Structure 1
């Protein structure tokens, strides 16, 4: 007789959760996917999803093969001086994207996002909710309308995705050749205006 119920944690449990999450994110998008739904699909206890990944941002990062914990990166950015949030975010992204393990993964992620609707929706929802949305919320003034925060998060995301497209996919020579300091000097003030005016 085969055992019944949810399978316990084991060697292939983490991979099974990632596979189930990939399907959930593809079908429902980032916002509508819950850790409980992923656990149901993977036939594991929800506590195992939390154990392996901590939360939805970390699970999404694993699905997309991002070589860092996005929540920790955002926490570091918002913990710094308010007047340097734009520069800090640009530096953080470039350090991640330009790393030997980050560049090919990010190129694959962006290429998938421009050619597959599901990937586009997942990336858009993740960036606006977990990265730029969290930064704008942390920097928001008292009583600032949510619609304003959402617009500013979207505009900030568009700046960084535009830089990423030009540097890693289109490979526009001047943008590829630019140093981190040059890109921070050019893009940082624009992000600052959106994220912490």
Structure 2
């Protein structure tokens, strides 16, 4: 088995197989043996790259759900243009059928298991982001997950649901995301409601 360790691309092949199986079966029903069979490798090789099924799932989440650094930049900019920039990056992933399937698989696994849900949630918020910014990102994430799921289920109008041309969807969502990105914290400037 030692000769197969370190073959270029093996780790990525394992992760692709795991992502596909998590998408199809969910976290709970995906076994490391099934991942190894799909990847065409010995199950022991998975242990060489990943300490556990949980570690493999963490790696799949990190590669599949990639908003943390995008969110950090968008929060740092705090301008309405950051919303469109963020949305264009998000809907690019939705337009790729393989990536969309994997994202939905990660979400399915997050619903399936509390530990998977916690890992998914942690992947959305960059390190060092807390307080009001963390709440903003949680709300933006919820909005994006809801829209992506609705789009996948065919609940959106055809103009917003079509793959390939996401400009209309970005325009429709941008004001809501911009409002969250540039919102003043409670008690901050603009919070005086007296008339």
The whole-number CA distance in structure 1 between the counterparts of 2:137 and 2:76 is 18
Distance 2:96 2:62 in 1: 14
Residue of structure 1 equivalent to 2:6: 10
In the alignment, structure 1 segments of 5+ residues that lack a partner are 4-8, 27-40, 45-55, 138-145
State how far apart, in whole Å, the 1-side matches of 2:136 and 2:75 are: 16
Pick from 154, 161, 166 the counterpart of residue 171 of structure 1.
154
Q: What secondary structure does 1:10 align onto? A: coil
- The 1:111/1:67 distance shift into structure 2, 3 A limit, reads closer
The verdict on how the C-alpha distance between 1:15 and 1:42 changes in structure 2, with shifts beyond 3 A counting, is farther
* RMSD of aligned alpha carbons: 4.5
The residue aligned with 1:180 is 166
Matched, 1:148 2:145: no
Instruction: Work out the CA distance in 2 between the residues paired with 1:67 and 1:43.
Output: 21
Aligned residue for 1:172, secondary structure, equals coil
Looking at structure 2, the residues matched to 151 and 82 of structure 1 have their Cα atoms a distance apart, in angstroms, of 17
CA shift in 2, pair 1:79/1:124, >3 Å = closer
Which entry has the higher C-alpha Rg, 1 or 2?
Answer: 2
CA-to-aligned-CA distance 1:11-39 (integer Å, 9 cap, x gap): 28736996xxx9xxx9xxxxxxxxxxxxx
**2:86 alignment counterpart:** 89
d(CA) in 1 for partners of 2:76, 2:70: 10
TM superposition shift of 1:117? 2.5
Runs of 5+ unmatched residues, structure 2: 20-26, 28-45, 50-54, 184-195
Give the distance between the partners of 1:148 and 1:195, measured in 2 at CA. 10
Quick check: 1:85–1:196 contact (8 Å CA) kept in 2? no
What is residue 175 of structure 2 aligned with on the other side?
189
* Contact kept in structure 2, 1:90 and 1:184, CA below 8 Å: yes
Pairwise CA distance, 1:84: 0.8
Please report how far the alpha carbon of residue 94 of structure 1 lies from its aligned counterpart in structure 2 after TM superposition.
0.3
Corresponding residue number in structure 2 for 1:123:
120
Secondary structure (helix, strand or coil) at the match of 1:107 reads: helix
Aligned match of 2:102:
105
Give how far 1:171 is off: 2.7
Contact 1:86 / 1:192 at 8 angstroms: preserved in 2? yes
Q: Residues 125, 111 of structure 1: CA spacing in aligned structure 2 closer, same or farther, 3 A cutoff?
A: same
Q: Provide closer, same or farther for how the CA distance between residues 148 and 164 of structure 1 changes in structure 2, counting only shifts above 3 A.
A: same
